[in-house]
Structure 1
Amino acid sequence: MGDKQGAIADYTSAIKINPNYAKAYNNRGNARRLLGDKQGAIADFNTALKINPNLAQAYGQRGIVRALTGDKQGGIADLQKAAELSQQQGNTELHQKVLEFIRKLQQ
Protein backbone atom coordinates (compact mmCIF):
# COMPACT_ATOMS: atom_id res chain seq x y z
CA MET A 1 0.00 0.00 0.00
CA GLY A 2 2.75 2.39 -0.87
CA ASP A 3 5.58 3.96 1.06
CA LYS A 4 3.98 4.78 4.40
CA GLN A 5 7.18 6.18 5.93
CA GLY A 6 7.58 8.44 2.90
CA ALA A 7 3.95 9.49 3.20
CA ILE A 8 4.48 10.36 6.87
CA ALA A 9 7.50 12.49 5.91
CA ASP A 10 5.51 14.24 3.17
CA TYR A 11 2.57 14.98 5.48
CA THR A 12 4.97 16.22 8.16
CA SER A 13 6.48 18.62 5.61
CA ALA A 14 3.00 19.83 4.65
CA ILE A 15 2.16 20.39 8.33
CA LYS A 16 5.36 22.42 8.81
CA ILE A 17 4.27 24.65 5.92
CA ASN A 18 0.68 24.91 7.16
CA PRO A 19 0.18 23.80 10.79
CA ASN A 20 -3.60 24.22 10.39
CA TYR A 21 -3.91 21.67 7.56
CA ALA A 22 -6.32 19.23 9.21
CA LYS A 23 -6.35 16.76 6.31
CA ALA A 24 -2.56 16.41 6.48
CA TYR A 25 -2.84 15.43 10.15
CA ASN A 26 -5.65 13.02 9.28
CA ASN A 27 -3.68 11.42 6.44
CA ARG A 28 -0.50 11.18 8.51
CA GLY A 29 -2.55 9.58 11.27
CA ASN A 30 -3.86 7.02 8.82
CA ALA A 31 -0.32 6.20 7.65
CA ARG A 32 0.78 5.84 11.27
CA ARG A 33 -2.19 3.56 11.96
CA LEU A 34 -1.22 1.33 9.04
CA LEU A 35 2.33 1.11 10.43
CA GLY A 36 1.02 0.11 13.86
CA ASP A 37 1.73 3.44 15.59
CA LYS A 38 -1.69 3.65 17.21
CA GLN A 39 -0.83 6.36 19.76
CA GLY A 40 0.79 8.54 17.10
CA ALA A 41 -2.26 8.01 14.91
CA ILE A 42 -4.65 9.02 17.69
CA ALA A 43 -2.57 12.14 18.40
CA ASP A 44 -2.78 13.15 14.73
CA PHE A 45 -6.53 12.49 14.56
CA ASN A 46 -7.01 14.54 17.74
CA THR A 47 -5.09 17.45 16.20
CA ALA A 48 -7.03 17.18 12.93
CA LEU A 49 -10.31 17.32 14.87
CA LYS A 50 -9.12 20.24 16.97
CA ILE A 51 -8.48 22.17 13.74
CA ASN A 52 -11.61 20.94 11.95
CA PRO A 53 -14.26 19.38 14.22
CA ASN A 54 -16.35 18.50 11.14
CA LEU A 55 -13.75 16.18 9.58
CA ALA A 56 -15.77 12.97 9.43
CA GLN A 57 -12.82 10.91 8.19
CA ALA A 58 -10.78 11.75 11.29
CA TYR A 59 -13.61 10.62 13.57
CA GLY A 60 -13.89 7.40 11.59
CA GLN A 61 -10.17 6.66 11.63
CA ARG A 62 -9.83 7.54 15.31
CA GLY A 63 -12.81 5.31 16.07
CA ILE A 64 -11.13 2.36 14.40
CA VAL A 65 -7.88 2.92 16.29
CA ARG A 66 -9.66 3.40 19.61
CA ALA A 67 -11.49 0.11 19.09
CA LEU A 68 -8.21 -1.62 18.18
CA THR A 69 -6.60 -0.36 21.39
CA GLY A 70 -9.41 -1.77 23.54
CA ASP A 71 -11.59 1.33 23.83
CA LYS A 72 -14.57 -0.22 22.07
CA GLN A 73 -17.15 2.24 23.42
CA GLY A 74 -14.97 5.23 22.54
CA GLY A 75 -14.46 3.77 19.09
CA ILE A 76 -18.18 3.33 18.57
CA ALA A 77 -18.82 6.90 19.76
CA ASP A 78 -16.29 8.26 17.24
CA LEU A 79 -17.73 6.11 14.47
CA GLN A 80 -21.24 7.31 15.27
CA LYS A 81 -20.02 10.91 15.03
CA ALA A 82 -18.37 10.07 11.69
CA ALA A 83 -21.65 8.54 10.48
CA GLU A 84 -23.59 11.64 11.52
CA LEU A 85 -21.15 14.05 9.86
CA SER A 86 -20.73 12.00 6.68
CA GLN A 87 -24.50 11.83 6.26
CA GLN A 88 -24.84 15.60 6.79
CA GLN A 89 -22.04 16.19 4.29
CA GLY A 90 -23.57 13.88 1.67
CA ASN A 91 -20.62 11.46 1.73
CA THR A 92 -22.61 8.27 1.12
CA GLU A 93 -19.56 6.05 0.62
CA LEU A 94 -17.98 7.02 3.94
CA HIS A 95 -21.34 6.84 5.68
CA GLN A 96 -21.88 3.24 4.55
CA LYS A 97 -18.33 2.19 5.53
CA VAL A 98 -18.71 3.72 8.98
CA LEU A 99 -22.07 2.03 9.57
CA GLU A 100 -20.50 -1.31 8.64
CA PHE A 101 -17.68 -0.79 11.17
CA ILE A 102 -20.24 0.09 13.85
CA ARG A 103 -22.20 -3.10 13.10
CA LYS A 104 -19.03 -5.19 13.34
CA LEU A 105 -18.06 -3.64 16.67
CA GLN A 106 -21.52 -4.14 18.14
CA GLN A 107 -21.53 -7.88 17.39
Structure 2
Amino acid sequence: MNFASWPALLVVDVEGNGTNPPDLVEVAALPVRDGAPDKNTAKAWLTRPNRPVTAFATRVHGLSNNDLADKPAWAQIAGQVHTFLGTAWICAHSAHTDYRVRSRT
Protein backbone atom coordinates (compact mmCIF):
# COMPACT_ATOMS: atom_id res chain seq x y z
CA MET A 1 0.00 0.00 0.00
CA ASN A 2 1.32 3.44 -0.92
CA PHE A 3 0.78 5.56 2.18
CA ALA A 4 2.43 8.54 0.48
CA SER A 5 -0.77 8.99 -1.53
CA TRP A 6 -2.94 9.26 1.60
CA PRO A 7 -4.21 12.68 2.68
CA ALA A 8 -3.14 13.94 6.11
CA LEU A 9 -5.10 11.85 8.62
CA LEU A 10 -5.86 12.47 12.30
CA VAL A 11 -7.60 10.25 14.80
CA VAL A 12 -9.50 12.72 16.99
CA ASP A 13 -11.43 12.30 20.22
CA VAL A 14 -13.26 14.86 22.30
CA GLU A 15 -14.65 14.71 25.80
CA GLY A 16 -17.51 16.81 27.07
CA ASN A 17 -18.86 18.07 30.35
CA GLY A 18 -21.98 15.88 30.27
CA THR A 19 -24.50 18.64 29.61
CA ASN A 20 -26.80 18.79 26.61
CA PRO A 21 -25.47 20.19 24.39
CA PRO A 22 -22.02 19.40 25.78
CA ASP A 23 -19.18 21.84 26.34
CA LEU A 24 -15.70 20.61 25.43
CA VAL A 25 -13.32 19.61 28.22
CA GLU A 26 -10.71 17.79 26.12
CA VAL A 27 -9.61 17.48 22.50
CA ALA A 28 -6.99 14.93 21.51
CA ALA A 29 -5.52 14.33 18.04
CA LEU A 30 -3.23 11.52 16.93
CA PRO A 31 -1.64 11.89 13.48
CA VAL A 32 -1.34 8.83 11.25
CA ARG A 33 1.84 8.90 9.17
CA ASP A 34 2.94 6.20 6.76
CA GLY A 35 -0.02 4.12 7.89
CA ALA A 36 0.93 4.11 11.58
CA PRO A 37 0.08 6.26 14.62
CA ASP A 38 2.65 8.97 15.26
CA LYS A 39 2.66 9.32 19.04
CA ASN A 40 5.56 11.79 18.90
CA THR A 41 3.42 14.48 17.28
CA ALA A 42 0.11 13.77 19.02
CA LYS A 43 -1.52 16.67 20.86
CA ALA A 44 -4.14 17.03 23.57
CA TRP A 45 -5.76 20.10 25.05
CA LEU A 46 -7.80 20.47 28.23
CA THR A 47 -10.24 23.33 28.44
CA ARG A 48 -12.44 24.74 31.18
CA PRO A 49 -16.08 24.36 30.11
CA ASN A 50 -18.67 27.12 30.42
CA ARG A 51 -20.83 24.90 32.60
CA PRO A 52 -19.72 22.47 35.33
CA VAL A 53 -18.76 18.89 34.50
CA THR A 54 -21.48 16.46 35.58
CA ALA A 55 -20.72 13.58 37.93
CA PHE A 56 -21.61 11.14 35.15
CA ALA A 57 -19.11 12.70 32.73
CA THR A 58 -16.38 12.60 35.39
CA ARG A 59 -17.03 8.87 35.83
CA VAL A 60 -16.72 8.36 32.06
CA HIS A 61 -13.52 10.31 31.35
CA GLY A 62 -12.08 11.00 34.79
CA LEU A 63 -11.92 14.80 34.42
CA SER A 64 -13.49 16.78 37.24
CA ASN A 65 -14.27 20.45 37.71
CA ASN A 66 -11.19 20.69 39.97
CA ASP A 67 -8.99 19.22 37.20
CA LEU A 68 -10.19 21.87 34.76
CA ALA A 69 -10.48 24.90 37.04
CA ASP A 70 -7.14 26.38 35.98
CA LYS A 71 -7.32 25.36 32.31
CA PRO A 72 -7.87 27.92 29.57
CA ALA A 73 -11.29 28.68 28.16
CA TRP A 74 -11.97 27.33 24.66
CA ALA A 75 -11.48 30.78 23.11
CA GLN A 76 -7.88 30.77 24.39
CA ILE A 77 -6.92 27.46 22.72
CA ALA A 78 -9.27 27.30 19.73
CA GLY A 79 -6.68 28.74 17.36
CA GLN A 80 -4.05 26.17 18.41
CA VAL A 81 -6.51 23.31 17.92
CA HIS A 82 -7.76 24.55 14.55
CA THR A 83 -4.18 25.06 13.33
CA PHE A 84 -3.18 21.55 14.39
CA LEU A 85 -6.26 19.97 12.77
CA GLY A 86 -5.74 22.02 9.61
CA THR A 87 -7.20 20.33 6.56
CA ALA A 88 -6.49 16.77 7.69
CA TRP A 89 -9.06 14.06 7.27
CA ILE A 90 -10.45 13.13 10.66
CA CYS A 91 -11.30 9.69 11.94
CA ALA A 92 -13.35 9.49 15.15
CA HIS A 93 -15.25 6.72 16.90
CA SER A 94 -18.33 8.93 17.26
CA ALA A 95 -17.59 11.40 14.48
CA HIS A 96 -21.07 12.93 14.23
CA THR A 97 -21.04 13.79 17.94
CA ASP A 98 -17.44 14.96 17.93
CA TYR A 99 -18.09 17.13 14.85
CA ARG A 100 -21.25 18.63 16.33
CA VAL A 101 -19.50 19.54 19.59
CA ARG A 102 -16.47 21.00 17.81
CA SER A 103 -18.65 22.92 15.36
CA ARG A 104 -20.70 24.40 18.17
CA THR A 105 -17.58 25.81 19.81
Query: What TM-score do the two structures reach when normalised by structure 2?
Result: 0.27
Per residue, is there more helix in 1 or in 2?
A: 1
Higher relative contact order (CA 8 A, sep 6+): 2
Query: What TM-score do the two structures reach when normalised by structure 1?
Result: 0.26
Larger CA Rg, structure 1 vs 2: 2
